[in-house]
Amino acid sequence: MLDEGRVRAETPGCGSDSGTVFLDSAGSSLPSQVVLDTVIGHLRREAEVGGYRAANERLEDLAAVKTDIGTLINADPSCIALSDSATRAWADFFYSVPLGPGDRILISGSDYASNGIAALQRARATGARVEQIPTDPNGQLDLDAMADMVDERVKLVSVLHVPSNGGLVNPAAEATRIAHSVGALVLLDACQSAGQIALDTRELDVDAMSVTGRKWLRGPRGTGFLYVRPELATTLEPQRLDLHSAQWTSADSYQLAADASRFEFWECDVAGRLGLGAAVRYLLDLGPEDVYAAVAARAEYLRKTLPEIPGVTVRDLGVRHSGIVSFTVDGVAAFDVRDRLAARDITVTVSQASSTLLDMTARGLDAVVRASPHCFVSFDELDRFVAALAEL
Ligand SMILES: *Cc1c(COP(=O)(O)O)cnc(C)c1O
């Protein structure tokens, strides 16, 4: 079981009686003390000796960032490319997959706006088509419909693991099997799952996976990573290269890096990377399964309690649930709910239709309020949130 007292004591943002309730780990979570110290410590060191020497002093720790990420997602460190956001990681892979006229790109019904936009742009440039995998009555990827629609023209499938606008978990491994049956590549958006549910790249069997640092992993902003399957990390050529992703070997030749670092550029926020590493190590140290169970228990508590408030409708779909709880309040706009809770020092966010256009349009929703409690949120705080919501 997770030691809630320890986690709270080690999270500077949740002072014991501060009165604040933080329910936005799906947006940008509260880092632990060790993450904060790591980032600030490195910035101080850069100010003392310059960025190059400061980085050279931390080469082992920088290498350990990928090792620890690999431990968390069951992947070899050579399959990890560090990035400055999940979107960049996702796009770095997505834009590198060769496509031609008549090829098909499949996206998920709850896909993220940036992914949908990129798919349309890529289709326009290559003559490929973008199609949506149908959604079943539970709001999840409809696996039967997907099996019926795939053929060998499908080259690339975007599977959205945990949508940003509601609490479902898509059957990613099953969808991947269907995509692979016709030889398509699968890119998994695990932005909202990393740090709150178990991710095992060998079990999922995806070809690539994108993750952000600042959400459930509780890392710094401006961090993320891409996982690339070993065979692709050594064969797929990224759209853009620099002197780190490739080596300039002669006047008319270059050689790609022999692992997933071909998807990285040389320049980076070293303090942020060390902070991301500290966040992953902290999660490993707490025990990921205990953290995941604590998140799930908090979200389930809200899903059970919120419907008891007159006028509140929980909007989560799905069979298996995540730590994201989405809801609407009759007669009160989502942004007003957010602002009125903020006035009481309770942080929730609004997820707008523009972020998950296909799903929200299909459900006739323009916005939902999103509460996403991490393991450092106490049940007392959840009750304070529920009471405040009842008073609206
Ligand atoms: C937040 C989010 C992203 C984007 O992550 P960034 O790190 O901001 O690029 C992508 N997909 C989903 C599902 C998200 O929730």
pLDDT tens string 29-55: 999 999 999 999 999 999 999 999 999
First to last CA, the chain: 35
Residue 86 CA, ligand 1 centroid: distance in Å = 6
Other residues' Cβ atoms within 10 Å of the Cβ of residue 4: 14
Q: What is the 189 CA–ligand 1 centroid distance (Å)?
A: 8
For residue 26, give the ligand 1 atom closest to its CA: 15
- Residue 17: pLDDT band (50, 70, 90) is low
Helix (H, G, I), strand (E, B) or coil at 354: helix
**What pLDDT was estimated at residue 18?**
66
Which letter does DSSP use for residue 30 in this model? P
Confidence band of 19 (pLDDT split at 50, 70, 90): confident
Ligand 1 atom closest to residue 160's alpha carbon, by position in its atom list: 13
Ligand 1 atom having least distance to the Cα of 89: 9
Q: Which atom of ligand 1 is nearest to the CA of 114?
A: 10
Q: Which of 164, 168, 354, 370 to mutate to test the pocket of ligand 1 (most atoms within 8 A of CB)?
A: 164
Work out the burial of residue 327: count CB atoms within 10 Å of its CB; fewer than 13 is exposed, 13-18 middle, 19 or more buried: buried
Q: pLDDT tens digits, residue range 294-328?
A: 999 999 999 999 999 999 999 999 999 999 999 99
Residues lining ligand 1, judged by CB closer than 6 Å?
A: 85-87, 112, 160, 164, 189, 191-192, 212, 224
> What span, in angstroms and rounded, lies between the C-alpha atoms of 121 and 163?
22
Q: Kindly report whether the global pTM for this prediction surpasses the value 0.85.
A: yes
216 alpha carbon to ligand 1 midpoint, in Å? 11
Measured CA to CA in angstroms, residue 186 lies from 41, 106, 297, 363 at distances of 39, 9, 30, 26
Mean pLDDT, range 16-33, rounded to an integer: 91
pLDDT score, position 16:
62
